[in-house]
Structures are given as C-alpha cells and as structure tokens.
Amino acid sequence: MTAFLVPSMLTQEEAVEIRVMARRGEGVRSIAKQLNCSRNTVRRYLRDGAACRYGPRSARACKLDQYKSYLGERIAQARPRWIPATVLLREIGNRGYDGGISQLKAWLAPMKRSEPEPVVRFETAPGKQMQADFTHVRRGRDPLIALVATMGYSRATFVKFTTREDAATLCAGLREAFDYFGGVPEHVLYDFVPGNKIVVLCPGAFCGQPA
C-alpha cells in the first residue's frame, strides 16, 4: 500500500508566528524545530504569504521592441548618470523608430527607479526604543488582530492576539510586553495609520509606569 505525505496545516496564530520569527532573523530549521513542523511547511507558509494572486500578463509586441537592446546598452554606459527620454527618442528616431515618447517613458520608468538607495542600519541603545504596531491576521466577521512589539536593540519580539484595535487594547498589550521583556523602554514607536504618522509614546505617561 502506498503512503502519501499530507502537508502540515498550521493555525492562523502559528502562521503569524512563522513570519514574526523569520522577521526576527531566525532560520527555517530553527522555526521548524520550535513549532514542531517540517522545514518544507515553514518554507511554504513564508512563500505563500508573499505570493501574488495573479501572474503578470504577457507583454504585447510594440514598435519599441527592436530598439530595447540598444537602449539598454546606452543606459548601462551612462550610469550613474541618466539619459533623458527626449535624447534617447532622438537617437532611436535616427535608427528608424517612428513611435511616440509615451511608450518610451513607460519602458524607461522602472529602469530609472531600479537604483536602490543605500541601506542605513538604524541602531538604538539597549532599553532605548521599542516598536509596536497592530497587524491584521484575519478580517471579516470574526477578525483576529496581533499586536507586535519589537525591541530596537535586541530585536526580541512579543506578540499578543486580540480582536480589537484601540487605545485601551494597545495600552494593555504594552503593559504585557513590558512584563514579558522584564522592563520598560525609554520610548515606544507606534505606527499611527491615519496620515502615515509615527507616534512616539512615553511609557511612563501612557501606561502609568516609570520610564
């Protein structure tokens, strides 16, 4: 009789824990060992969380296609400088291109944004800062929300599951996080969604504990 391996099914809480542990820098082997599941299961949940629902559409042929190789070479030669679209349009126009500048600009746009900015690591002293934010695990009639608090220096993380996202829940969750970490940081950074503002909370004033 042939045996079939059935992929492990994790709870919503375990799926969130996988993402939290991965963000904390733990490897697949360590996560699988702590959650008592296979490494393939951990990889599958990490992969599925970032998967897109729809695949990219196949590109349609356009007048610009036969000039893309030339344009790519010109852009590579000019880096780190950028050649304006009007200059490139004139160059490929001399080579026979009779299309407009709109499709040229559309094709150039992602190449112009492809230069990543240098990553600057933001360091904080021990006990100086903690980041806290709500994340939606499940929406709908039976919502599930997680308050994730992460220490800025050690990257140690505390997670509390709840069904509410208000000031009272935040305050109670922060108190539990302080108990879990065994102390109170000097500042708590909270991502306040309306207006995309970052709010700096003083734990002493917000939760009635000494800073």
On whether residue 135 sits in a domain, the answer given is yes
Full residue range of the structural domain in which residue 25 is found: 12-49
Residues 145 and 195 in one domain: yes
CATH number at residue 170: 3.30.420.10
Q: Per residue in 152-207, pLDDT tens? A: 888 889 999 999 888 888 889 889 999 999 988 888 887 654 444 445 555 554 44
Counting runs of H as helices and runs of E as strands, what totals does the chain give? 8, 5
Interaxial angle between packed helices 28-35 and 12-23, expressed in degrees from 0 to 180 and rounded to the nearest 10: 150
Give the pLDDT confidence of 96-138 residue by residue, as tens digits: 998 888 888 888 888 876 555 566 566 778 888 888 888 888 8
Residue 35 domain-assigned (yes or no): yes
Alpha-carbon distance 172 to 209, whole Å? 12
Residues 138 and 199 in one domain: yes
Residue 71 lies in a domain: yes
Which helix H or strand E contains 133, and what residues bound it? strand 129-138
In a domain, 5, yes or no: no
